[in-house]
Structure 1
Amino acid sequence: MTARPGRLGRATKLTGRRSERHVLDRLIDAVRAGESRALMVRGDPGVGKTALLDYLVDHAAGCRVLRVVGVQSEMELAFAGLHQLCAPMLVGLERLPVPQRQALQTAFGLSHGPAPDRFLVALAVLSLLSEAAGEQPLVCVVDDQQWLDRASAQALGFVARRLAADPIGLVFGTRVPGEELAGLPELHVAGLQDDDARALLDSALTGPLDARVRDQILAETRGNPLALLELPRGLTPAQLAGGFGLPGAVSLSTRIEESFRRQLDALAPETRRLLQLAAADPSGDSSLVWRAAGRLGIPPQAATAAVEAGLAEFGARACFRHPLLRSVAYRSASVQDRRAAHLALAEATDPQVDPDRRAWHRAQAVAGPDDEVAADLERSAGRAQARGGLAAAAAFLARAVLLTVDPVRRAERLLAAAQANLHAGAFGTALELLATAEAGPLDELQSARVDLLRGQVTFASGLGSEAPPLLLKAAKRLEPLNLGLARETYLTAWMAALFAGGLAAGGDMLEVCRAARALPPAAHPPGTAEQVLDGLTLLVTDTAAAAPRLRRVISAFADPDMTIEEELRWGFFAQVAAAALWDHDAWRVMLLRQVRLGYDVGALDQLTIMLSGLGLATTWTGDFAAAASLVTEVDAVCEATGSRAAPYTAMSLASLRGNQAEAVPLFEATIAQATAGGQGHAVAYANWMTAILYNGLARYEQALAAARQASEDAPGLYGRDHTTCTKTAPSATCWGGHVSMWALPELIEAAARSGNTDLAWDALPRLAESTQAGGTDFGLGIEARSRALLSKGETAESLYGEAIDRLGRTQLRPELARAHLLYGEWLRRENRRADARAQLRTAHDMLATMGAQAFAERARRELLATGETVRKRAIETVSTLTAQEAAIARLACDGHTNLEIGAQLFLSARTVEWHLRKVFGKLGLNSRRELKAALAQLGHADPPA
């Protein structure tokens, strides 16, 4: 990555391009007016992208302009492009939130710390740009984006998609846009119109040209400006007059390169050698080039001819007229000369100041395997990984593999390179490296690690059904080799089996748990991983025995001495422990803490699942507005990270709100996508939510069908035929995950209401096993409510009373309201109308207030059946606020600053302020102090604590 200095090769006037200039003019006008814009200027090599970017820069009066250019040979240096762009603004680092500031400093090598999440780095860049734009409108121009290092490209793509209310223009010039820029507005640049192309060609000619030759040039160049300017260069008047017949099979870019090559061939050898040397180092550091030139015996006057020919400049930076010229100059050198150039550059590079660039040059200089250079590259990979440059680390390691002599070290570096590619999201490359590793000599531990990495790649890439057997195989192989790693692998296999559910292609939950239970006893006292694995695997095989161990896990995660690393690494499993014991309070407290921690340390890869869990926990409290805000947060994380997580919170909201037209398409789409991806957990969740929806609508047969599917989502636990546990032998092995367990109350209600009491009785012992083990008011209240549905007389009445009493001591308002509803329905059928009215009225008021439309309507119909007239109550909408405005308003109401809200929703602080102004305008407010009352008036509960 190099800054573009001076005006080398820039025409004084842009030929043609009226429509393209209009687009750029509008962009500049919008930025000056305080708006943000992102644009991708794409086209073939030489088509004029750079000239248009020059035009943009020249016409950006009143704006601060930052400009960088990608260089192909610098793609392995993590955050190189981003650092060049941000360097002039780093004085504003202190104004950023601490996690963002630390992430950026670590990424740029300005300080040491844990490897930052790449999305936290990107958010820091967004904040930095926003701060700079607060002083003066900002235009950032990134040319040759296709050659940016991947970490920089990802970060800038993130920023471009999150611009909103900042006076920032972010414009990319690129040949073929990668996934990093997907979805951005495009300006496609094609060849010049015939008249403009003819005028540009004439400007490049030094003498007359035969009309037929001119027409041939115009036809073959197809209006490509670089071709029109460069192809005539180096040709004699006689050649031009005699014809321009180039082979039709040669591509346009090849023809341009041949023109550059002719111009290089016309230079003296020492000038050509200097250009080859400058091309070998993409940093543009003139002092480095001249130090290396001195080692090769190239005199300073060698630059004169190159400058006079307009091929390059050697001022503060060494700069070529065009990136293609740099490429041609580099390839024009012999292999021996190229190695000599890289060796000279390596020797001229300070190993203390720039060790990674020195290692890169050394790697290009060696003729064959070299363990010393490979070790140097490995150290560079470690530094890149510490800065969060995972793709760069992978590239360094891949090169180190090629230079490694020792087969043992080569195997280790292959595995390290595969792991780095896994973490960088390059799953295909990781699998290719693993295949290469398997082809060479591996010891037993290395071979087992290949299995482990292949399973991790499969799991991370979303192939849910295929991951459990691969991870189970790896865990078994690791047992005699590395017991600690085997335990961790069993936990990963457990998680994979949980998410695969009934779609697992082998290695189901029961198989994983039985294998893990056979491990030798853990050391005393057991570590966090051992405690978690022991409790969760026992949960599946013996729920009652697992309960006290799971409570110890929950207590451990409530300990303030729990390290951040342990919290992030094992926190998901502790949540599962709390969910399995029906401990909603502990589960929600964990989720809140882990979400905050995820934001604080930038663990964005885990935030989706944390926020989804918090969304369900919040929906269960009846605070639908807060849950809707969490949907916005989940969407923001998914958009920022590219995650394709199932819409868990949106589904839970849709089911309890009871809007069939909104809910059913959401459920069906989720089931289709999750089935294709082997994610049985999401399928079960969607079926559970479908059962809640249809129970609310009193369509019990449909609710029963969905609940049966959700509650049977663990075939390995009760036979491959997917049949349920029998009534006569309710086994603890029937626990198939918290979703299948939570679906049982819906199954019991639907079965009881549709006359399928045998099914309800079959499910009740399975439910009771987990609720009794948990011993919480939540679980025992749900069990009492379910038993009451199947009971008669005083027993039923007592159980309904117990359910209301227990659930009344929880935060679970929808479940409490449903208990009042079921009790009221039972009382009406007992012909106790006055008592029924009291329960049904309570249920209706609670359900209507929280927005549970279907259940509220069910309560209203029951009240009508008792003879009481009830006006159908309109379910209040949240407000006239958009989902994002509502989320920002709630966070502001909760006391968060604009910076904190921006960090949570991946927005700049200025964008948050812009949204808040809109909120104040819509609600007629003057300050944040008025927000809480206004939100409450619109049907919001207090924000979650």
Structure 2
Amino acid sequence: MDRRSEREVLDRVVADLRRGESRALVLRGDAGIGKTALLEYVVGQAAGCQVVRAGGNEAEDELAFAGLEQVCAPMLDRSARLPGPQREALSTAFGLSAGRPPDRFMVGLAVLSLFAETARERPLLCLIDDAQWLDRASAQVLGFVARRLKAESLAMIFAMRGSGDQAELAGLPELHVTGLPDDDARALLLSAHPGPVDDRVLDRVVADSRGNPLALQELPRGFTLAELAGGFGLLSSAALPYRIEESFRRQIAALAPLTRQVLLVAAAEPVGDPVLVWRAVDPLGIGMGAERALREAAAGFLEFGARVTFRHPLLRSAIYHAATPEDRRQAHRALARVMDPVTDPDRRAWHLAQAAAGFDDDVAAELEQSAGRAQARGGPAAAAAFFERAADLTRDSARRGQRLLAASQANYQAGMPHASLPLLARAEACPLGALERANVDLLRARVAFTLNRGPEAPTLLLRAAARLEKLDARMARETYLEALRAGWFVAHLSAGPHLHDLSAAALEAPAAECPGSPSDLLLDGLAVRYRDGYPAGAPLLKQALDAFLGAEPAAETDLRWLWFACTTALDLWQAEAGDVLTSRFVQLARNSGALTALPLALTQRVVMQVFAGDLAAADLLLEEFDAVREGTGLDEPPYAAQLLAVWRGQEEKAAALIGATTREATQRGEGVGVVAAGWMQALLLNSLGRYDEALPAARQATEPRQEMGVLTWCSLVELVIAAARTGHGGTASEALARLRVMTQASGTDWALGLQASCEALVRFGEAAEPHHREAIDRFGRTRMRGGLARCHLHYGEWLRRSDRYQEAREELRTAHTMFTAMGMDAFAARSARELGASGETVRKNSDVSSGQLTVQQEQIVRLVRDGLSNAEIAARLFISPRTVEWHLSKVFIKCGVTSRRQLRS
């Protein structure tokens, strides 16, 4: 049939591929609608291109990377060209070498690079049929790759059922394949079933099939000519896929028992290995001499070639489900018997599990070993399936509970917290030991924190930590630290313990066996700080920061606690520590491939760069943040984008982001989001000179008496400014008093510069000037350029109001120059207005847009300047090396250079 519109779309994909462009497309439609035929059409049009094909398999959707291995197998000889971390991640994922379980997104980068390397030779066309049955690990990686395509000469086309729920492919361009027009449907039906067909029956088949080619060919099979001619009992009112399977079942029922056995074994064997199928069939009592006759009998249903292929995937399903449970178990048992326990232990264990009719501890033990291998390869979703099936086969209820808990933990590690909860409930119903009970509490708390960062997590973590005190002191202390983090996020919206309560409990816990580690010092310092106040905790927290700075970075431990360490550095106004630790956090997350931690690390680095006034660098980090979110699907709140929009004075964009994040934070019960929104709103309005509107926002942010470090002092600064400028002297003085407690305990130039700046705003007459000068002096010794520019602005405004116009112009000119260079447009406009009021006209910068680089191109130029190779830049930006080359070619043209060396200069 013609399929003209679908062919036109696919022709454009192939044409773009030949031009060196990359495309991703999902063909979505009902079973039998013709998706596979369209894939065959693409193959026919792709002469001169490399084609790799794979298909999801219902029987393998629990085996980690099974689908991905099919896709990558023809290309693995090129893996030696990949960067070391990517090569190792791919090798570990496929079980080719032992190593630390790779982050699935590092595997994604490796596959993207592998595809790009392969496409250098000839354009590469990657086709994945039955994508709805891909195992989760493969779907995540292939979805990641499909979203990062740009200029690799690579096309990826996925075919999946319309009802298929493959969230990892959501958002990719789609082509919905629908039924054939009535005339084409009639022609296909008549060609497939020559002979007399009653017109009314013909009309009914065409209407009920809705143009589905498979239904048109398969529904009438198994009926007599008389039934087709008269329509007697031809169709039921059941759903179309069910009726197609019923048609298949009628055809199967007419076969000889031995033929049905062969078909059943083939349906139960997911790899499609003909040798394996016949080896499994022989012990069932079918002699090899009967092989030819059985091949002929089965020919209408499947084909024995290099692989065993069914006429249609629904036929495999129909054959399998038409068999009795005992026949299915017998088929799996036969397959397990002939599989090599050394080379293919996981599939063998899975077949043994499917063959088990009741408890079987030996098979459960094999499944548990398979789960361990899946975890080592970076496939926690597969590990969860193995653990769950092992639990079902376990006779002892206590051991069953342990395996259910392990399954729940593996689901959580796989990024499926919702799926872990039912298993956790089943585990709780078993007679668990004290340590397992504590781990149940801990996992439930982590799930709650992951799902919404809401008020439930601190209570659960506190309970888990209390249970762990007598069982594992180290684990208990780490859990208290997690509880403090959860309490910080919930903040004043907590319905349970607040930071003060959590800190008191942590300080009463047993001391560390080997005190002095960075995380132990951090826990002690934070607990004292939130129980006894900022001045009491500051010295201990400074020791913790020194310990983090002095320790050798270790990805597994540092990535867990660096978020708190970075936040603490900002709390204490420790600029150098903050710069080093936020940079280390990002680098560790990148190097280890821990892309789930990278958005949080990038957010903290953006905050540091914004305070330093390097908004251009913050822009590039935000581009990376967006790339990670897009490629991984991680739902990290866009606080970094919100902060950058505020400092740039982009009122409309900032207001939209603040409104959205405030609503989401309130719904989740995440108090930190509400406080952050109040601070940013106040900062934005102060930058615009709308102090009367900034005042209520700043009050909202400072109303919670629970101190939140950087958020608290940032909000207090904006409250002092807004209150002082609107004549609310008492409010300004009270806010300054709260701020002074913190700044005095910190003692850094950054802290004392902020204090001096605020002191100047609440003073009257000449008493303000020494504080203005001190603020500029102290900020001048720091890297905090944004704060320094604000100090010049405040001093210039004060000088102008004191009628000292010449001095005012000097300060305001300095502020304007700095704000303009940093891209802080609202502050720059405010300083320009003040300059105008002082008698000086500000010249507008000419807009030079010709040849301007995009944000990503600018990012690439900076990385080239830093000496990174194309492969290293690609890994940093989650794109392929080919895409880096494509961007650089554009950059060379725009900049009028011909080499990387010229670009550096």
TM more than 0.5: yes
Does the Cα contact within 8 Å between 2:349 and 2:363 map onto a contact in 1? yes
**Bigger mean CA offset, 799-808 vs 306-315:** 306-315
**Bigger mean CA offset, 623-632 vs 657-666:** 657-666
CA distance in 2, matches of 1:244, 1:51: 32
Within 5 Å, give how 1:869-880 maps onto structure 2. 869-871=841-843, 880=852
Counterpart check, 1:54 vs 2:11:
no
Within 5 Å, give how 1:922-941 maps onto structure 2. 922-931=894-903
**Bigger mean CA offset, 44-53 vs 311-320:** 311-320
Identify which of 202, 213, 224 aligns with 1:214: 202
Counterpart check, 1:642 vs 2:633:
yes
Give the equivalent residue in structure 2 for 1:184.
172
Q: 1:335 to 1:564 in 2, by over 3 A?
A: same
CA distance in 1, matches of 2:167, 2:21: 25
Give the equivalent residue in structure 2 for 1:370.
360
Give the equivalent residue in structure 2 for 1:237.
225
Does the Cα contact within 8 Å between 1:270 and 1:302 map onto a contact in 2? no
Q: CA deviation at 1:47?
A: 1.2
Give the equivalent residue in structure 1 for 2:216.
228
CA distance in 2, matches of 1:879, 1:643: 34
Counterpart check, 1:119 vs 2:105:
yes
Q: 1:878 to 1:671 in 2, by over 3 A?
A: farther
Give the equivalent residue in structure 2 for 1:278.
266
Counterpart check, 1:41 vs 2:27:
yes
Q: Which amino acid aligns with 2:112?
A: L
Q: Which amino acid aligns with 2:78?
A: G
Identify which of 737, 752, 757 aligns with 1:765: 737
Q: CA deviation at 1:299?
A: 2.6
Give the equivalent residue in structure 2 for 1:390.
380
Give the equivalent residue in structure 1 for 2:681.
690
CA distance in 1, matches of 2:518, 2:785: 34
Give the equivalent residue in structure 2 for 1:822.
794
What SS does the corresponding residue of 2:452 show, helix, strand or coil?
Answer: coil
Q: 1:751 to 1:247 in 2, by over 3 A?
A: same
CA RMSD, 1 decimal: 2.1
Report sequence identity in percent: 55
Give the equivalent residue in structure 2 for 1:345.
335
Give the equivalent residue in structure 1 for 2:537.
546
CA distance in 1, matches of 2:367, 2:415: 21
Identify which of 568, 585, 603 aligns with 2:559: 568
Q: CA deviation at 1:146?
A: 0.5
Does the Cα contact within 8 Å between 2:545 and 2:569 map onto a contact in 1? yes
Q: Which amino acid aligns with 2:215?
A: A
Give the equivalent residue in structure 2 for 1:837.
809
Give the equivalent residue in structure 1 for 2:52.
66
**Bigger mean CA offset, 87-96 vs 286-295:** 286-295
Q: 1:930 to 1:504 in 2, by over 3 A?
A: farther
Does the Cα contact within 8 Å between 1:627 and 1:653 map onto a contact in 2? yes
Counterpart check, 1:810 vs 2:810:
no
Give the equivalent residue in structure 2 for 1:755.
727
**Bigger mean CA offset, 774-783 vs 462-471:** 462-471
Give the equivalent residue in structure 1 for 2:284.
296
Identify which of 101, 114, 124 aligns with 1:138: 124
What SS does the corresponding residue of 1:806 show, helix, strand or coil?
Answer: helix
CA distance in 2, matches of 1:284, 1:699: 71
Q: 1:141 to 1:345 in 2, by over 3 A?
A: same
What SS does the corresponding residue of 1:769 show, helix, strand or coil?
Answer: helix
Q: CA deviation at 1:303?
A: 5.5
Counterpart check, 1:437 vs 2:423:
no
**Bigger mean CA offset, 363-372 vs 560-569:** 560-569
Give the equivalent residue in structure 2 for 1:731.
none
CA distance in 1, matches of 2:648, 2:54: 51
Q: 1:504 to 1:931 in 2, by over 3 A?
A: farther
Within 5 Å, give how 1:255-334 maps onto structure 2. 255-300=243-288, 301-302=290-291, 304-307=293-296, 309-334=299-324
Counterpart check, 1:787 vs 2:759:
yes
Q: Which amino acid aligns with 1:83?
A: E
Q: 1:831 to 1:218 in 2, by over 3 A?
A: closer
CA distance in 1, matches of 2:570, 2:283: 68
What SS does the corresponding residue of 1:743 show, helix, strand or coil?
Answer: helix
CA distance in 2, matches of 1:925, 1:538: 58
Q: CA deviation at 1:932?
A: 5.2
Does the Cα contact within 8 Å between 1:130 and 1:908 map onto a contact in 2? yes
When normalised by structure 1's length, the TM-score is 0.92
**Bigger mean CA offset, 583-592 vs 651-660:** 651-660
Q: CA deviation at 1:508?
A: 2.3
CA distance in 2, matches of 1:873, 1:31: 43
Counterpart check, 1:462 vs 2:452:
yes
CA distance in 2, matches of 1:744, 1:155: 45
Counterpart check, 1:198 vs 2:186:
yes
**Bigger mean CA offset, 480-489 vs 618-627:** 480-489
CA distance in 2, matches of 1:134, 1:39: 21
What SS does the corresponding residue of 2:596 show, helix, strand or coil?
Answer: helix
Does the Cα contact within 8 Å between 2:851 and 2:894 map onto a contact in 1? no
Q: CA deviation at 1:877?
A: 8.0
**Deviation by residue 1:867-923 (Cα, 9 ceiling, x = unmatched):** 344445578889833332332232233322222222122111111221222223233
Within 5 Å, give how 1:302-701 maps onto structure 2. 302=291, 304-307=293-296, 309-541=299-531, 542-701=533-692
**Deviation by residue 1:320-343 (Cα, 9 ceiling, x = unmatched):** 111111112212322222112111
Does the Cα contact within 8 Å between 1:191 and 1:224 map onto a contact in 2? yes
Q: CA deviation at 1:610?
A: 0.6
**Deviation by residue 1:124-166 (Cα, 9 ceiling, x = unmatched):** 1111111111110111110000011011111111111111112
CA distance in 1, matches of 2:861, 2:286: 65
Give the equivalent residue in structure 2 for 1:720.
none
Does the Cα contact within 8 Å between 2:579 and 2:608 map onto a contact in 1? yes
**Deviation by residue 1:367-393 (Cα, 9 ceiling, x = unmatched):** 111122111111111111111111111
Counterpart check, 1:152 vs 2:138:
yes
**Bigger mean CA offset, 605-614 vs 458-467:** 458-467
Identify which of 797, 820, 834 aligns with 1:848: 820
Does the Cα contact within 8 Å between 1:37 and 1:170 map onto a contact in 2? yes
CA distance in 2, matches of 1:650, 1:874: 27
CA distance in 2, matches of 1:215, 1:833: 91
**Bigger mean CA offset, 212-221 vs 39-48:** 212-221
Does the Cα contact within 8 Å between 1:469 and 1:508 map onto a contact in 2? no
Aligned length: 900
Identify which of 884, 888, 893 aligns with 1:912: 884
